[in-house]
Amino acid sequence: MVEKVIPIRLDEGKGLIPSIPGKLISPNGLISDTRGRPLRDLRISVTDRCNFRCTYCMPKEVFDSNYPYLSHSDLLSFEEISRLTSIFVGLGVEKIRLTGGEPLLRKNLEVLVEMLAKIRTTAGSSLDLTLTTNGSILRKKAAALKNAGLQRLTISLDGLNDNIFKKMNDVDFPVTDVLDGIVAAQEVGFSNLKVNMVVKKGTNDQEIIPMAKHFKGTGVTLRFIEFMDVGSSNGWDLSQVLPSQEVANRINAVFPIEPIEANYPGEVAQRWRYVDGSGEIGFISSVTQTFCHECTRARISTDGQLYLCLFAKEGFDFKTLLRSGKSDLEIANAIMSTWTKRDDHYSEIRGSNTLIANGGKKVEMSYIGG
């Protein structure tokens, strides 16, 4: 009998120790990395748990009942997340995305949302506060999130055919409940909703046109994501990647579309619109059309590790700094010291050499969020 091996998180709460410079400087909201990329976006994972077992993210054979999930004491508290967010905002961050795992599984998440909604940017504006969810319990949480100050929502949905969707989530969850969650979000006043579909060739690519047809004219922006080599457990294979250009071609053949300008520098999704004016769609092409050169995102894991890239091997342990009595100014300088040394550009150099350099391992998306 072959013993099953369950991989543990790469850092296991023991990331690199951030460097605090001997001479502290006051942040001015303007820092950049070695490639001239500013820090503008922060993605915060609030839980490493999820009630789905999507094959491209948390496959059931790895994330089973024996998987060593983080204990509650290992998680950043809401107060720690709020404090760290305020420090990042002082360095120029303007957009916060809450993610997971499935973030709505974090108890009383609306309390954290309310805390973050009170933070102001260096220009005195509200944060662009958003959340990504699989939509499974959105019907229950939509009103509380809206009332707490959440501005935008992104819902993951990989198809409308129930058999295909259940195969993708691998827990027999019905697509109707996710669609009902989207309706619930609209009912409580969320606008500018986005739906993300990960396209895996040979698995759900036949759902491209039905998804486009369903959301066309609804005010919901549907975005197609190329199947990415995130983490070490999703069995990524380049042959299963359907290039965004082919997805666009398929849609254009049925519903004519045309490209439009990005909303802001560094926007991940390429924006397109239907020629008949019935809405917008997007394409996230991190495999075939990389956007490393404009990446302004940092990520905080559930247990307070700072990651500079979605495809990183290791993070920087800011939980220890938060819990060791360091001042906000010291932590801010540690972030500046870390970011200004950043050179990550994995997607631009994707290939066997990067896997060898990482020892064949990358941090799991369920740990640091998508």
Mean pLDDT of the chain: 89
Q: Tell whether omega for the bond before 235 is within 30 degrees of 0, i.e. cis.
A: no
Q: Which is higher by pLDDT, 8 or 297?
A: 297
What residue spans define the domains of the chain?
41-368
pLDDT, tens only, 192-222: 899 999 999 989 999 999 999 999 999 999 9
Q: Which is higher by pLDDT, 264 or 165?
A: 165
Burial of 48 (0-12, 13-18, 19+ CB in 10 A): buried
pTM of the model: 0.89
pLDDT confidence tier of residue 59, bands split at 50, 70 and 90: confident
In three-state secondary structure terms, 231 is coil
Q: 3.20.20.70, 3.40.50.620, 3.40.190.10, 3.50.50.60: which CATH number matches 41-368?
A: 3.20.20.70
Dist. CA 303–CA 26, nearest whole Å: 26
Residue with tokens 């993070």: 315
Q: Mention every residue, 6+ apart, whose C-beta is less than 8 A from residue 360.
A: 232
Mean pLDDT for the stretch of residues 71-77: 94
CA angle 14, 44, 138 (to 5 degrees): 130
Q: Is 90 exceeded by the pLDDT of residue 232?
A: no
